[in-house]
Copies of this chain bind each other. A is one copy, B any other.
């Protein structure tokens, strides 16, 4: 029973059908095709704003190429110290930006705050050539801690960004899960909240290999086409990436799939909230808002869950041991229930 990650599950059947469907007759390569054009139009509808959309195969590509359009080699990017761009992309933003400096910032539950950002930007914005120029902030939505920025939180950060003249990038690897949690129009957490570029994730949400960089300001996108090609990220048979994206965002499939994943996470969270208080040292490390749960547990309990057939990653914790449980578009309620049942049994046995 798989709680490893939302990229260890397969592909939603609607997406697979779209691929089969797209495989009829020839089409122009490199994005000069109807699927790609339709994706752009559909995302413009969803965001209620003109957008430039660049499909790519990986989230790291969407992030690093977007960041490279915002941050010059002698600039810096601020992100949470646990952000994917900071610690899990093997320096991709550094590569694509030509060696920009990434500055890690702390924050509870995976979130940056206006205060932390303001302090850092005041400290670093020296105007002296000895220091790199602060040029952008990257926020993850939903965060790496499974939490979600609310519109007001984003607006407060955008206000700090505007004051210090820095741009805003959003890593939306799990943007669908954030949107499903928030239930607000997409514009409220993107361009209305000052976001310049969004890495719109789709692979984790149910696609096969499909992500997109979404620019709300076309001027910023000017070099993206060349940067994508130069990065080896212009897929030649692009229609097969775009067909995934088109089906994913059409008719609300993306939100439907995310709502399921989130619902499974909530079910897990409720069970854990009821169960963990009986186990000394066990607790949920972060509020459960999207589709990830971080649970501190005794080593014996963790081993017991694994022995019972559950798969998940260990996770670094400040004290004790922790695991990460991720739900996905196709997580079965029965598996959730079984995990909770097993946990209760293990606790009972441990008592």
- Which residues of A are in contact with B by a Cβ distance under 8 Å? 2, 4-5, 7-11, 16, 19-20, 22-30, 56-65, 72-74, 76, 87-92, 94-102, 104, 123, 129-133, 203-204, 208-209, 223, 225-237, 240-241, 311, 316
Q: Report yes or no: A232 in contact with B11, Cβ–Cβ below 8 A.
A: no
Interface of A is mostly: loop
Q: Report yes or no: A123 in contact with B316, Cβ–Cβ below 8 A.
A: yes
The answer to whether A99 and B90 touch (CB under 8 A), given A64-B232, A234-B60, is no
User: Copies per complex?
Assistant: 4
The answer to whether A236 and B74 touch (CB under 8 A), given A129-B225, A131-B90, A132-B90, is no
- Please give me the residue from chain B that is nearest to A88 by CB atom: B130
Q: Report yes or no: B88 in contact with A99, Cβ–Cβ below 8 A.
A: no
Q: Report yes or no: B132 in contact with A240, Cβ–Cβ below 8 A.
A: no
The answer to whether A232 and B61 touch (CB under 8 A), given A16-B19, A101-B94, A240-B208, is yes
- B residues less than 8 Å from A223 (CB atoms): 72, 74
Q: Report yes or no: B237 in contact with A11, Cβ–Cβ below 8 A.
A: yes
Q: Report yes or no: A23 in contact with B19, Cβ–Cβ below 8 A.
A: no
The answer to whether A133 and B232 touch (CB under 8 A), given A28-B4, A99-B94, is no
User: In whole angstroms, what is the CA distance A22 to B72 when docked?
Assistant: 36
A243 → chain B closest CB, angstroms: 10
